[in-house]
Amino acid sequence: MSESSQVVNSTVVAEALESDGSEKIGGGSFNGKTIQEIAAEVPEDGALVIEIANYINEDLTDYELHLPRGLEDKRAPKTISTRTKEVFTFKRDPGGYAPHGVLLYRIGNSGYSVHLFFWWNIIAIRYLGSGDPVMSLWPIDNLCKNYTQPQTPASMACINIPRDQDIARTLTIAFDTIYTKLIIDSRHLNNTMLLTMDVWKFEL
């Protein structure tokens, strides 16, 4: 993947996402429920609920998952179709471990993939090449300080967020004309973390 990245005014990007993200899109995995209602159905505390909305004109495909701790509860779809959002969930495993892992979706024919890393309270998102394996983002540790793979400044974001904080946090990354916004929210239910990720394309 090329290391050249287009620099775009952050205000313009935010306005574009606000406009695009307000558009109503649906997916079969919700079954008419909200993400909070789906989170309440996960049987244990310490769960992880992920919603991904695809606002670009290509599918997000070839879902991959590495999950060394925790279990899948509501499985993720292999593909998130264009103009669709889907939700999936993870729960504690029999040993009591909360979900820890990393996943990816390939972004149509763009040559990129978007990776989402979750290690208890460490959350990261990153663009990599479409041929890079799901484990490419795994070396994050020590509160986001030990990730050393080369990257453009805007194409990765990492945060350490305590689950008991009564606030939501937002990460945004960009590469060329593709943008991803991730909202991290742990305010709602039983130490459960909600991750809401929007992927969209913005042409100047």
Q: In angstroms, rounded to a whole number, what is the distance separating the alpha carbons of residues 117 and 124?
A: 5
How far is it, in rounded angstroms, from Cα 40 to Cα 60?
A: 27
Instruction: Answer whether residue 62 shows pLDDT above 50.
Output: yes
- Copy the structure tokens of residue 36: 């909070």
Q: Which three-class secondary structure state does DSSP give residue 99?
A: coil
Most trustworthy range by pLDDT among 16-25, 36-45, 121-130, 142-151:
121-130
**Six-digit token string for 82:** 């264009």
Q: Where are the domains of the chain?
A: 10-201
What does the alpha-carbon distance between residue 94 and residue 88 come to, in Å, rounded to a whole number? 19
pLDDT at 185 over 50: yes
**For the whole model, what pTM was predicted?**
0.83
Identify the CATH assignment for 10-201 out of 3.30.200.20, 3.30.590.10, 3.40.109.10, 2.60.270.20. Answer: 2.60.270.20
11 vs 47, more confident: 47
pLDDT in tens, 161-183: 776 666 788 999 998 889 999 99
